[in-house]
Structure 1
Amino acid sequence: MSRATPSQASKFTVHPLTPSRWADVADLFGPEKGANSGCWCMWPRLTSTDFRTMSKEGRKRAFRSCVAKGPVPGLLLYEKGVPIGWVAVSPRRDVIRFEMAKTSQREPELDPAKHYAITCFYVRTGHRKRGLMTDLAKAAIDYAKKKKATALDVCPIDTEKPLMWGEGFVGIESVFRALGFKEIARRSPRRPLMRLSFTDK
């Protein structure tokens, strides 16, 4: 059984998504919505072509297979035993779209097995606008450290305009800047590549 990790706010607990917690993530994502527009968190794990050609049900099956086979694809945030938030965090080698995308490509000399990435967030309806992205990001940082990652990347959205629901699923730039992430590249005006290094002295 996985051990709960206290978040920065003591009322939350965090668990890695293992097969025994499949019912929790399925409940969080919702049987109809499948998280954001039926993505079932497969958006970062497939090429653009493969993602478009896969049905919502196919994405659900593919994600369940990822959970069953491992490694852990991300973390669930609980409040009073109810899953209310999700953050996808894993080695870069497991998220092919993040690896291939112009905005988030890593330097070729970096090891994609030791270099981790945060690729998406999802928060249950009724719990949004509570600042949970920060709690989820902190949990992802702690998890990556425990896995002995050398660094953690994210490619959030940076905009002064109000976001429509779903636009910020990749993360919000200001959240990561406040957590100490540094911008290392900006290949798109609204999508900085940001990094938190665990090897800096």
Structure 2
Amino acid sequence: MTIEILPATGDRFDDAETALDSGDGPACQCQWWLLTNAEFEKDTRDQLEERFRAEFDGIRPPGLIAYVDGEPAGWVRVGPRTAQARLGRTRDVTTATAEPLDAEDVWAVSCFVVRDQHRGQGLMKHLLDAAVSAARDGGARVVEAYPLDPTCRNARRISCSAAPCRCSKTRGSTSSPARNPTAHWSPSRCVSDRSPSPGRSRRDDPLRLPHVPRSTMEVRPRRT
């Protein structure tokens, strides 16, 4: 199996649409975090798609596309937090972040989609690693993410997440910092007290990753 992560440039729009064919992707067109609620509710599906298409012709790719053996398999949105307007209007984000809301060098990973047939292959880790590299290359000082613990009951009511990703049923990520020596994680706090699966420790349980209301990577330059 060959995995390749490529920027979402104009010639890859159709591939991005293919990558978004799971979960809420087709209806959302990865526009949820870019628009106010009124704007999102007003636009039709076709209008949201046109907004998404226009991003591919901009100066900065809106995200990255994962390919498995040449086939579009997944998507991640990464870019300046200031360009994702709803994040600045979301209380769980604004109260959790330690960074100024107008900081241009704070980037956000706000959406993951992995197509059903490609799940369980580690694509989210590949996408997240590539997103951090793209942020670094784009001048980011900090990368924020807003994971949701899918194992936490009443997650929407007891602060098990800062901002669940509207674009995908695969909600957020908390990849281990040890796997990326050029980035430093500073998670705020863990809120889930779920017991590990039978026969597993908390550390080994894949369903008990350190989900937190806010995860922050301080992006460090690559060593030359």
Residue 79 to residue 168, structure 1, CA distance change in 2 (3 Å): closer
Aligned partner letter, 1:118: V
Residue 129 to residue 108, structure 1, CA distance change in 2 (3 Å): closer
Partner of 1:148: 139
Partner of 2:129: 138
Question: C-alpha root-mean-square deviation of aligned residues, in Å?
Answer: 3.1
Q: Which runs of 5+ in 2 are unaligned?
A: 156-166, 194-210
Partner of 2:170: 168
Check the 8 A contact 1:186/1:193 in 2, yes or no.
no
TM-score, with structure 1 as normaliser: 0.78
Offset from partner CA, 1:106-165 (integer Å, 9 cap, x none): 4464653211100000111201122221111111111111122101000110243599x9
Measured after TM superposition, the shift of residue 12 of structure 1 is: 1.4
| Greater RCO structure (CA 8 Å; 6+ sep) | 2
SS in 2 for 1:158: coil
Partner of 2:199: none
Measured after TM superposition, the shift of residue 191 of structure 1 is: 6.0
The answer as to 2:64 corresponding to 1:75 is yes
SS in 1 for 2:93: coil
Measured after TM superposition, the shift of residue 99 of structure 1 is: 2.2
Partner of 2:197: none
The answer as to 2:85 corresponding to 1:96 is yes
Residue 178 to residue 103, structure 1, CA distance change in 2 (3 Å): farther
Aligned residues between the structures? 185
Q: Which of 24, 30, 48 is matched with 2:15 structurally?
A: 24
Instruction: Give, in whole Å, the separation in 2 of the partners of 1:154 and 1:112.
Output: 15
Aligned partner letter, 1:40: Q
Measured after TM superposition, the shift of residue 197 of structure 1 is: 0.5
More strand as a share of residues? 1
Offset from partner CA, 1:152-183 (integer Å, 9 cap, x none): 000110243599x94433x134x356665322
Instruction: Give, in whole Å, the separation in 2 of the partners of 1:44 and 1:112.
Output: 17
Aligned partner letter, 1:53: K
Partner of 1:46: 35
Partner of 1:195: 216
TM-score, with structure 2 as normaliser: 0.71
SS in 1 for 2:82: helix
Instruction: Give, in whole Å, the separation in 1 of the partners of 2:147 and 2:177.
Output: 10
Aligned partner letter, 1:121: F
Residue 143 to residue 126, structure 1, CA distance change in 2 (3 Å): same
The 5-angstrom pairing of residues 109-120 of structure 1 reads 109=100, 112-120=103-111
Which of the pair has more CA radius of gyration? 2
